[in-house]
Structure 1
């Protein structure tokens, strides 16, 4: 089937944490025989920070960040069997959602793909006239990046016909062990952009432990931290291109995952970073959230911290040998249970079932 996908960016991970999720899942879908066209705006300086060239498994259309540019790519929704509007494009989101639904063929599937469902639900819950609320009756399906049963129930309560999580995973060809790189040496590494709904948790789980461990080197990657008041032992390396994620994850003693506020409160939302780091064989310390055990076994395949003191305790007792063993167990687990090939197979079944249901509702 031909899939028209309107998202933030496939080519760049700059201010775009969903990039590797899109790449892993859509490449796996292409390998299953689907024809992918990805539409992304020329916005937020992402095209100047590309991680990859346009791949051979998808057509990538970079459109002008103008009403005319948006109108031209919306018109192409009529070419597709499946039309997907992802959340968080960042520009013309409402116009893309409404326009793509209207332009889709009568027999095409219409899907909203929410890559930040907890935040979206908090935004639209009390706004019955929100464009997404108005669009839900016209959608065949809502897919989410995570959120599990609470998010599914919330979307169904708002009128979604169907809702299913398609979780992050690992692409073994992209995320795998590499030789440690001195550029990323440190005791604990954290990779994440500076976002308002995560900054307080970064302070609590990363910066406070760094201040209390002044003799240990901490490593911070991601955009937006240039103006932050960082402890002297925290080295900020700026935006880390996806080609360097393996080295960033593999080199420090451990790497830290910190969920955004909304995702931590809902749970069932493993970040791309968790699977990327596990695929590289890194020892991951994560903040605690509901549903973690569905993906990795706490204390065996991933270490869990309820607060910054727990992070410190892990770092005090963790040896390089133990870190390597935890990382290897995590790597074996994600290769066994959490690959993008497996996620794509799940998605492929969902789409085929939904397509059959749509034909029953809208016979030719």
Structure 2
């Protein structure tokens, strides 16, 4: 049944106070937890377009996007499906394309301390997103509340099966919406057109509905007192990401180099976002079932864990809670009061809690 978007947004404004465990808990085989944790310990509830680099967003009348809280002129766009595109973040894949047009971006850990990205398109679309790469277990855990089809370039069979089990439809190479570019070497040369990928989803009969937001979005009544103008996330060996706040935007750097985007015409700029959300969870090893291939790192997003929200040059510290992968995250401050993420294009980091994260 198609859900009413106004009802969903009203529920968001109420901070998901009535959210219950509507989904079934999953059984996940995990590796041993780290001996020391950076801040909060995750308790698993299981048995085992981005703004221009020189502008800020001005709120004007319109229906608010459930992905970022910003007004949308055409409310019909908010009742359609979210499209997700898995984007490479290897150094040979930079600068990427399409991230600057996304309604939200999610960053997840993969092997060797590297990360990959999920660009989310709801009211927006992009004709040039990529490079596109393969699926990982944490992808479907983050996409399940949205019910978003994932545009991807492959992955182990057991990980694809896990995504399908969680309700994620997959759109891979060889379908309308994906194409390779000759100016880059494989595997960093597959790109996507989200409008064409929507057409593929239509042809396959995938639901063209918006399932629900990732978390509650509403303006803060007042900013937190603590400032945060420079934020560094240490994802693993040799991979530090720094965000620097300036005039309403957080500018991203990989190591000491600005992290840029580029469009198909070769024009580009530094990636900059209005809101940073950190969902910190326990890192574990996701093992394949018997007959599967190799294990991969993943981040626990069920139970509870540390939350950080950076906006307006300030930081709010708290915790997140979630009981099932198809539920939204419930967010709380350090005293246990429900909180929201303020409007603005967000970059959401699903971060290993044992790794250093500092700001000043």
TM-score grouping bracket, smaller chain normalisation: under 0.3
Q: TM-score, normalised by structure 2?
A: 0.27
The structure with the greater share of residues assigned to helix is 1
Of the two structures, which has the highest relative contact order with CA contacts closer than 8 Å and spacing of 6 or more? 2
Q: Which of the two has higher C-alpha Rg?
A: 1
The structure with the greater share of residues assigned to strand is 2
